[in-house]
A and B are shown apart, each in its own frame.
Chain A
Amino acid sequence: MSFHKKLLTAITVIFFAAMLFLTVSARAIHNATLPQVTAERLSSVQFPFEYTDENGNVMTGTKSALAIRSDLLGSDVFVLYQREKNGDMRDYVRLAVIETGEEYNGFTEVLSGIGYGDKFVISTDSILSDGDEVLVEE
């Protein structure tokens, strides 16, 4: 084979090898650039509250309310959501503005900002901003 034929063959092989490599690993490479987070679903916690009954006695009962671990409120809270991009579903975060209520037993009542069942970020390996794409660890 003449020189330029050899060169052409080499280029062709390199091209297809590169495409093959990318096909297999592009997603993994992309995911490596994403912040890795763990998440939890928002659920209800029992809160005590006081009320006066018919006889005028002060009683303590419990109510169920959405609550989040108080220590998480120290930094920004991010809620996870999914959106389609370029043909597949990706995970994104949005900055939540939370209105809080009482505190009890390490949990703070959430009045607004996150809904029941919403996933929110518990831990992350890098700083997040509103609208970032993330990789959620199971």
Chain B
Amino acid sequence: MMKKHLKFNTKCKLCLLPSLAGTAVFFVIPYIRVLYYSLIDNQFRCNFVGLDNYIETLNNEYFRLALVNSMLIIAIAVPVLIVLALVISLVLSFGIRKLKKLRTAFILPMLIPTASVVLIWRTLFTDTATPLPIYMLFIWKNIGICIILLTAAFTGIDENIYEAARLDGAGAFTLHRKITVPMIMPTLLFTVLLSIVNSFRVFKESYLFYGTNYPPDHSYTLQYYMNNNFLKLDYQSLATSAVLTSLLVFLIVIAGMALQRRWDR
């Protein structure tokens, strides 16, 4: 019996192999090479220059502009998205039970290819003095999945808890504060994290909207910086900014996961 169990475990481990192999070959190993690129000065001379590239990149005004813009999206667009999604989900889940079937329709903007709607977006939002069109595109695309996740969480709360609390004399505000909020928290955290990650993906939308490698200053994000370096074949700057960006994302994710664990107590 013991032998059979061991064999099963080994077989299970083998199941992981294709995925691990592919991920290693296409992501992990090249990433290490990127790290290497960021630490040398030139593809041909390969002199190890330590952190010089990083200092140079951090001092680059374009990089700084890109960093600020990317952070602005996270700081502004994501909260607006979440608040909007919360409001809509609240009304939807406490109001309508039967329209649950149509919930999945909200996912459509995420599935619809961006390229298809960009032209219309350009005619709708002609003012390119602010990054508003891009924010709107981001919200339009992502609000669907946020609403679906949040309504699922709202409807997952047991009605009886509310009844019991009301019987105890709790007012509407206390009701929501003590019951709704804590029960929503895990999903809410996940939604926020997901939206932050998706805010990085907004590059595709932005690129298609402006149609150029050098959009107006307010929309120049980290991805533009990296993309332009890629096209200029400036591997050093590209590698450095890629590593820096991955560090940023890494920190955000770790922070999110730590928050989640603390919340689960």
Indicate yes or no for A touching B, C-beta below 8 A. no
Give B contacts to A, CB under 8 Å: none
Give A contacts to B, CB under 8 Å: none
